[in-house]
Amino acid sequence: MKLYLSLPLFASLASAIWPIPVQYEHGDGVLFISEHVSFNWGAGAGNVGFTDQHENTYIFRANSDEISHVQDQQGGYRKRASSDEYGNASEAPTGDDMVDYAVYSAHRTIFKRGFVPWKFHPRDWEEPDPDEATYITEVKLELLQEDPEDIAKPLAGAVEESYALTLTKDGQATISANSSVGIIRGLTTFTQLFFQHSKEGAYTTLAPVKIFDAPKFQHRGVNLDVSRNYFSVKDIKRTIDALAYNKMNRFHLHVTDSQSWPLEIPSLPELSEKGAYRPDLVYSADDFRDLQHFAAIHGVEMITEIDMPGHTSSIYLSHPDLIAAYNVQPNWNTYAAEPPSGTLKLNSSAVSDFLETLLDDLLPRIYPFSSYFHTGGDEVNKNAYTLDDTVQSNDTAVLQPLMQKFIDRNHDQVRAMGLTPIVWEEMLLEWNLTLGDDVIVQSWQSDEAVAQIVEKGHKALVGNYQYWYLDCGKGQWLNFDPSIAASNWPFNDYCAPYHNWRAMYSYDPLSGVPDDKQHLVLGGEAHMWAEQTDPVNVDRMIWPRAAAAAEVLWSGAKDENGQNRSQIEAAPRLSEMRERLVARGVGADAIQMSYCTMNGTQCALGLS
């Protein structure tokens, strides 16, 4: 067996696995995998006591349209057409539900969503011969410890995601992990060992394989803004499936903003009736539950954000009395970062009552599926409060105590529901608010901001906009009057240029953070703000660039020698991940011509 990283870079085309595991050794032996492969799910050797609850054998029928029939030990085939049918959709999935789904999904990935890897071999490449093959017929899944109770909605670090994977030369596969989520991650890796054969079946060329893997960061996510443009539940699920396939474990839904309020709040139905772009472009309470459950079954925790007090103008459409400085024109930019301007009033008991009702409705529906609630707090424009009849001032000394009360009220209510608040960095660094020790602060403006957050003792999420904003570099979405057009040419946006995958990959979440504070950096998110993204281009806007962030968050920005990770090593693996995403129905962007991936280092620069 050869150590992967000691191989010459080019000898190992199609070496699979994104993000790169902590320890990864493999050979070059061929194994096919039988479509009848059974997955045996149970407690690991020596672990008695919780075995009975976890014994299932999943046997897949060969008949292709019955792939989703799984047999448990009781013998019956359970017909499953979609992820919604795993577990009770009203409740958080159990670890067993998650593994159930992961087995179904792994089988489907290997046999229905595979790809023929011609792009990763020279022109004269020949596929392995299935007639002379050894077949993998069984995969052992071993749970080494009992799952914690809140397996589906952990606080950062509360569920261990490590796994060990071995595949012997003669086709014995074993995945062991300390939690069901670890089993899911291991199954995800397992699928990435296989390629589709152009005639039939699936095979690996990497046997034997020995992997131990564990994430560097506990919080690894994508943030999707579904207010600026509407995305269907299907679009969102496709995004969650893709991020889970990159071993990310958080999906941040920026669900409301000034431009639209697409979230149904049953006790305040007028919010979405009037605030959504159209009455049918709404996430019903059922949709919302469905999304949270879908994420959880993938080992992904959905974190919902209601951004406030700024970014709330869409509330005006149903509750005009609650919003100050609504849609000032034409100089909206004095009062907001984007049109329409508007903010929740800052010294209004009507606003407090409204928020009480809103969160009383929403938080109990989040509680089964998440330990977090994001109360926003970015880009609050002080001038808007000069037009707020309850304040009539933009003086920081006047506003700051009111903002403190505003956030204290919200966070008290979030905590009373048993949830942990998350805020944007401005609440701490610009408004200088006193936040509870439990509050996680999400940074976006700079590495210095991250350093300041952890210096103040708070846990931080990174996502520096100069690296991890996926929207940047498309140019302006504003239109310029002819009188100022020439001086704004060529209409770049504020965060240009476009951050290509290499730029995203070069970002180190720990940059500038002293050693003794690094434990406070929980991880980070890649952000998909949607002013210029809608369902038509969302896949290629997020993928595969967010995969670069996923590898930084799972594997760390530095390699095992403490050096910056190499683009030359990463590129073929990322190109392969892109093919795998496309094969699972995600329209990920192309990042290299086949010529580059067919022959290792032809497209490298600077090799010595």
Contact footprint for ligand NAG (CB under 6 A):
10, 13, 88, 90-91, 122, 144, 162-164, 176-178, 347, 382-383, 390-391, 394, 398, 432, 506, 508, 511, 564, 599-600
**Based on CB atoms, which residue is closest to ligand NAG, 382 or 411?**
382
User: Smallest gap, in angstroms, from Cβ of residue 535 to ligand NAG?
Assistant: 31
**Based on CB atoms, which residue is closest to ligand NAG, 361 or 589?**
361
Closest of 447, 433, 421, 456 to residue 524, by C-alpha: 447
Distance CA 366, CA 502 (A): 36
164: enclosing H helix or E strand = strand 163-167
Residue type, 140: K
Distance CA 409, CA 429 (A): 19
Instruction: Count other Cβ atoms within 10 Å, centred on residue 580.
Output: 25
**Based on CB atoms, which residue is closest to ligand NAG, 263 or 399?**
399
**Based on CB atoms, which residue is closest to ligand NAG, 383 or 446?**
383
Burial environment of residue 82 by CB neighbours within 10 A (0 to 12, 13 to 18, 19 or more) = exposed
Residue type, 541: M
User: Smallest gap, in angstroms, from Cβ of residue 368 to ligand NAG?
Assistant: 8
**Based on CB atoms, which residue is closest to ligand NAG, 368 or 587?**
368
Token look-up 């299935």 returns: 130
**Based on CB atoms, which residue is closest to ligand NAG, 358 or 387?**
387
User: Smallest gap, in angstroms, from Cβ of residue 165 to ligand NAG?
Assistant: 9
User: Smallest gap, in angstroms, from Cβ of residue 598 to ligand NAG?
Assistant: 7
Torsion on CA atoms 326, 327, 331, 335, rounded to nearest 10: 40
Closest of 370, 520, 512 to residue 442, by C-alpha: 520
β-bridge pairing 77-79 and 69-71:
antiparallel
**Based on CB atoms, which residue is closest to ligand NAG, 33 or 183?**
183
**Based on CB atoms, which residue is closest to ligand NAG, 57 or 390?**
390
CA distances 80 to 71, 290, 583, Å, are 11, 16, 21
Q: Are 196 and 114 in contact (CB under 8 A)?
A: yes
β-bridge pairing 343-344 and 323-324:
antiparallel
574 CB contacts (<8 Å, ≥6 apart)? Answer: 18, 501, 544, 547, 548, 551, 591
Distance CA 12, CA 15 (A): 6
User: Smallest gap, in angstroms, from Cβ of residue 585 to ligand NAG?
Assistant: 29
Q: What are the φ and ψ backbone dihedral angles of 120, each rounded to 5 degrees?
A: -110, 20
Q: Are 575 and 597 in contact (CB under 8 A)?
A: yes
Collapsing DSSP to helix, strand or coil, 152 comes out as coil
Token look-up 């969650």 returns: 240
User: Smallest gap, in angstroms, from Cβ of residue 89 to ligand NAG?
Assistant: 7
**Based on CB atoms, which residue is closest to ligand NAG, 542 or 557?**
557
User: Smallest gap, in angstroms, from Cβ of residue 388 to ligand NAG?
Assistant: 9
Collapsing DSSP to helix, strand or coil, 409 comes out as helix
User: Smallest gap, in angstroms, from Cβ of residue 533 to ligand NAG?
Assistant: 26
CA distances 556 to 158, 312, 509, Å, are 19, 36, 8
Beta strands in 307-401 (DSSP E): 323-324, 343-344, 372-374
Burial environment of residue 604 by CB neighbours within 10 A (0 to 12, 13 to 18, 19 or more) = middle
Q: Are 312 and 344 in contact (CB under 8 A)?
A: yes
Q: Compute CA 405 distance to the chain's CA centroid, rounded to the nearest angstrom.
A: 32
Whether residue 544 is preceded by a cis peptide bond, meaning omega within 30 degrees of 0, is yes
305 among known catalytic residues = no
Q: Specify the DSSP class assigned to residue 564.
A: B
**Based on CB atoms, which residue is closest to ligand NAG, 13 or 362?**
13
User: Smallest gap, in angstroms, from Cβ of residue 312 to ligand NAG?
Assistant: 19
Collapsing DSSP to helix, strand or coil, 582 comes out as helix
Distance CA 448, CA 306 (A): 26
**Based on CB atoms, which residue is closest to ligand NAG, 141 or 222?**
141
User: Smallest gap, in angstroms, from Cβ of residue 63 to ligand NAG?
Assistant: 28
Closest of 346, 370, 276 to residue 314, by C-alpha: 276
Indicate the length of the chain as a whole number: 608
Marked catalytic residue, from 85, 127, 273, 379: 379
User: Smallest gap, in angstroms, from Cβ of residue 243 to ligand NAG?
Assistant: 22
Q: Kindly list the catalytic residues.
A: 379
